[in-house]
A and B are shown apart, each in its own frame.
Chain A
Amino acid sequence: MALDSKVPEGPLEQKWDSHRFRMKLVNPANKRKYSVIVVGSGLAGASAAATLAELGYEVRCFFYQDSPRRAHSIAAQGGINAAKNYQNDGDSIFRLFYDTVKGGDYRAREANVYRLAQVSNAIIDHCVAQGVPFAREYGGLLDNRSFGGAQVSRTFYARGQTGQQLLLGAYSALMRQVAAGRVKLFPRTEMLDLVVVDGRARGIVTRHMVSGRLESHAADAVVLGTGGYGNVFYLSTNAKGCNATAIWRAHRRGALMANPCFTQIHPTCIPVAGEHQSKLTLMSESLRNDGRIWVPQQKEESRAADKIPESERDYYLERRYPAFGNLVPRDVASRAAKLVCDEGRGVGPKVGDLRLGVYLDFADAFQRLGRGVLDERYGNLFEMYEQITGEDAHDTPMRIYPAIHYTMGGLWVDYNLMSNLPGLFVIGEANFSDHGANRLGASALMQGLADGYFVLPYTIGDYFVTAGNSKVGTDHAEFRAVEAAAKGRVEKLLGIKGKRSPDSFHKQLGKVVWEFCGMGRNDAGLRKALAEIPKIRDEFWQDLRVLGTADTLNQNLEKASRVADFLEFAELMVRDALHRTESCGGHFREESQTPEGEALRDDEHFSFVSAWEWKGVGAEPELHKEPLKFEWCKPSQRSYK
């Protein structure tokens, strides 16, 4: 299979403009004849659904929560990047593009990233017009802050709730279209499978989570905005319901999965407290702007933080990276934290043999800026920290530790955000396209909204015109077959009647992937995981216990179905990590590091996108490669010293 990225010819800064001109337009009078299914109502899904409806398409939007406003984009705290250069500090579209490609450790497609930087400014304009209450200066203009890894202040924010405010903006746009009768919402409805007819995506099969009803939905295009797969690790900062079912089912139907081993560990999360832990909570990385990260110099330190004198503290990020200090990119900060904790210099309670935590200290900032300023910036985060840990970060340093936060990999898409299956578009975190091997802070919100507001609405029209308006209805035999298969699977899950809950399998899987495919990966460990995962999967299908029935609200049935997909997905992720013997961004292969312990890329052998094709459960997937060429950003060893 030859992967055609469909990147337009021409100079970088003209590609998107000339592509927009070359794309065919749907006659305004004909738009209502085209229907689109959007799965997911987060930043990408809601913005796409609203904009497509504004254009005149008939849109249906599916999501598993009770309201579109609950999607997990809502939990993003820190901010959204744009190349406005409002701070006059030397930012530009090219700089945002360059930083993003470099931050992604040269594993992203240049043309996609440049377009992302180009449309970033329009996102801010649009969100302000929607009534998003961004932080402002006293003159009434928008405030910016600098954010993990950037040397310019290009991040727009709404206190520590930027994701919430942007999502509520997209949600309001969506509800406006609901009011206009152009979007129909399907709450508490989960996509169970994709329907492909003659190679084209034609619809989905869903389960209504209250009545248990299985339904087929046909449309001219299917858009997946279903987020990432971070919950494969069980413990992550994702919402409990986040799952990989939509992208995994699409993968099983022929869509290629790209770079699944590119997962991001976020350096500033609240450490694990014990076995009961059901999820991890992120503290916005903006805290690193004013907080200083340190651990005691001596191992097994027993004194409280305030009893350790300055001379016996190791501000290890400032020491190792004098230029960037506490603001090094996420992957670098995370690995540095793991290193000091593995040395036995971690803080907080012991989990297993180690103390897995480092201090994030605001004492200097309190002195420099005063309590009022800090509370204005981070008040809600301090409060959240206290609720969870029972400690007040005004008096004692916070304890933080890295956790899985975001997944850069996802379904393969071309420049038009269409997968290799015609008619299947993938947007936001669910696709692989813009962040390479590591995502910079405040870029996820930017990408989700770029895809949904400003990219997909153009490219989907070109697909409609070029693919032709041939209709396939839900009476087609393939819909019947996929629906029957979905029904069979639900019955199978309920029929095992074993002893173990879905959660117990999920935890077991999570421990294996975190241990062997987490912050550090090596050949032996990955091979071990490849042996373990199929065993857990076999046991799952023999010993699972799901009580209740299929025709009511059955939360364990939902969970079981998602865990079943994670058990297949995990194997592909590990396989990808094993195949990529270089280190890059969030993918750290211990065999490939510089003498200083930094990720060492192997551009000669791995400057490509790995796109995997499904060949069956337990069968080896087939690898397809999309070569990456860097014409404008020459790859260099990342250095934040």
Chain B
Amino acid sequence: MDFTLKVWRQEGPDFKGRLVPYAAKGISADTAFLEMLDIVNERLIEKGEEPIAFDHDCREGICGMCGCVVNGYAHGPEAGTTLCQLHMRHFHDGDTIYIEPFRAKAFPVIRDLVVNRGAFDAIVTAGGYISIRTGSAPDAHAVPVPKENAERAMDAAACIGCGACVASCPNASAMLFTSAKISQFGLLPQGQPERWDRVRSMVSTMERAGFGACTNHGECEATCPKRVSMDFIARMNRDLMLASLK
């Protein structure tokens, strides 16, 4: 298959970026999207041009390191798929493909398609944990957890922290990410003691990091490669309201 790529190139945070066209010819349909970029990069090196910088690591859809906006969609147009799991068979021969970094005030561009998502770590640092010291835990069976709660907590915990929810939201809101962590703990008995402090602290850190508010567009849920549900945002908002009454 042959493609024309229009790739965002930007030398650094203080440089102006621009879309640069590249030809990607002779790509097999079984090639993964990032492997297609590998091939383009190898050809650029041959020609003596600097390769395109992009983040990636596990290439099996779980580390959350990769992610670009492809044809206007974070992680590309396939639902429930990270960019590394997207394969070229989902495109048509001759397509023009636009590749841009995740864009948000809280995610400044580092170079080309690489952005800084350190704000996510800051949100977790503000309370995305259960305070338990190594060695102090009771037996794992001391507290039974209803299966449906465990499953629901797992639905929330499946978040890979890639930032696609932020990139796809018109407000660049991080509420899906934040609410997933809050809900995971909120659904489990172990998370109850710190539940109200957690939601207050994480939400205020999220707001200070420069993310926007949620106005129920639903783009985050639609684009999330792990299909994390927007219901968790409602849950977080309810917890936040209850916390203000405590």
Contact = CB atoms under 8 A, between A and B. Distances in A.
Interface of A: 47, 50-51, 54, 65-72, 74-75, 84, 86, 122, 124-131, 133-142, 158-159, 161, 163-165, 168, 171-173, 175-176, 178-179, 185, 187, 210, 237, 239-241, 273-274, 276-279, 281-282, 383-384, 387-390, 453-454, 457, 499, 501, 503-504, 545, 547-548, 552-553, 555-556
Nearest to B187: A133
Interface string B1-44: 00000000001100000000000000110111011101100100
B132 A547 contact: no
26 contacts: A66-B116, A70-B63, A125-B140, A131-B188, A133-B153, A133-B157, A136-B146, A141-B141, A164-B160, A165-B154, A168-B157, A172-B128, A187-B118, A276-B36, A277-B35, A278-B32, A279-B59, A279-B60, A388-B87, A453-B134, A548-B50, A552-B111, A553-B53, A553-B114, A555-B51, A556-B45
Contacts of B143: 128
A125 B138 contact: yes
A165 B154 CA distance: 9
Interface in B47-89: 48-51, 53, 55-65, 78, 80-81, 85-87, 89
Interface in B155-197: 157-158, 160-161, 184-185, 188, 190-191
B120 A133 contact: no
Contacts of B57: 65, 70, 72, 239-241
Contacts of A54: 133-134
- Point out which of A179, A210, A454 has the most chain B C-beta atoms below 10 A from its C-beta: A179
Chain B contact residues: helix, strand, loop or mixed: loop
B216 interface: no
Given A70-B63, A141-B141, A239-B63, A387 B81 contact: yes
A140 B146 CA distance: 5
B126 interface: yes
- Point out which of A131, A159, A178 has the most chain B C-beta atoms below 10 A from its C-beta: A131
A410 to B, nearest CB: 21
A188 to B, nearest CB: 9
B184 A133 contact: yes
Nearest to B121: A67
Contact of B140 (A69, A128, A185, A454): A128
B35 A72 contact: no
Contact of A457 (B56, B120, B134, B161): B134
B111 A129 contact: no
Contacts of A50: 134
Contacts of A164: 62, 158, 160
A173 B151 CA distance: 22
Contact of A175 (B80, B118, B129, B138): B129
B40 to A, nearest CB: 11
Contacts of B158: 159, 161, 164
B130 A172 contact: yes
A273 B29 CA distance: 10
Given A173-B129, A274-B30, 11 more contacts: A72-B57, A72-B63, A130-B129, A140-B146, A141-B144, A161-B62, A240-B59, A278-B34, A278-B59, A387-B61, A548-B50
B131 interface: yes
Given A72-B63, A159-B154, A273-B30, A501 B42 contact: yes
B63 A65 contact: yes
Contacts of A547: 45, 48-51
A330 to B, nearest CB: 18
Nearest to A71: B63
Interface in B105-128: 110-111, 114, 116-118, 120-121, 124-128
A348 to B, nearest CB: 12
Contacts of A555: 51, 53
B246 interface: no
Contacts of A126: 132, 134-135, 137
A357 to B, nearest CB: 14
Contacts of A548: 50
A171 B118 CA distance: 14
Nearest to A156: B140
Contacts of A178: 125
- Interface residues on chain B, size class: 35 or more
Given A67-B120, A454-B135, A278 B85 contact: no
Contacts of A553: 53, 110-111, 114
B150 interface: yes
Contacts of A72: 57-58, 63
Contacts of A504: 42
- Point out which of A176, A282, A384, A453 has the most chain B C-beta atoms below 10 A from its C-beta: A176
Contacts of A84: 140
A512 B80 CA distance: 37
A144 to B, nearest CB: 11
A175 B128 contact: yes
B58 A210 contact: no
Contacts of B81: 387
A618 B42 CA distance: 29
Contact of B147 (A65, A69, A124, A138): A138
Contacts of A457: 134
A65 to B, nearest CB: 6
A556 B44 CA distance: 12
Contacts of B147: 136-138, 140
Contacts of B62: 74-75, 161, 163-164
A142 B141 contact: yes
Contacts of A65: 57, 63, 65
A67 B94 CA distance: 37
B145 interface: yes
B113 to A, nearest CB: 11
A142 B140 contact: yes
Given A75-B58, A239-B57, A278-B38, A130 B63 contact: no
Given A72-B58, A282-B60, A556-B45, A129 B138 contact: yes
A337 to B, nearest CB: 21
B145 A165 contact: no
A239 B36 CA distance: 17
Contacts of B111: 210, 552-553
A382 to B, nearest CB: 12
A132 to B, nearest CB: 8
B190 A130 contact: yes
Q: For the complex of A and B, list the 10 residue pairs with the smallest distance between their C-beta atoms, beginning with the closest.
A: A140-B144, A172-B129, A129-B137, A125-B137, A133-B154, A133-B153, A128-B140, A239-B57, A239-B58, A51-B134
B154 A140 contact: no
A179 to B, nearest CB: 5
A548 to B, nearest CB: 5
Contacts of B150: 133-136
B190 A129 contact: yes
A145 B73 CA distance: 38
Nearest to B13: A210
Nearest to B126: A179
A175 B89 contact: no
A131 to B, nearest CB: 5
B141 A86 contact: yes
A239 B59 CA distance: 7
A179 B125 contact: yes
Interface string B204-221: 000000000000000000
A273 B89 CA distance: 13
Given A126-B134, A138-B147, A140-B146, A387 B85 contact: yes
Contacts of B28: 273-274, 276
Contacts of B38: 276, 278, 503
B79 to A, nearest CB: 11
- Point out which of A136, A142, A159, A504 has the most chain B C-beta atoms below 10 A from its C-beta: A136
A69 B12 CA distance: 25
A246 B151 CA distance: 39
Nearest to A179: B125
- Point out which of B110, B129, B184 has the most chain A C-beta atoms below 10 A from its C-beta: B129
A505 B20 CA distance: 28
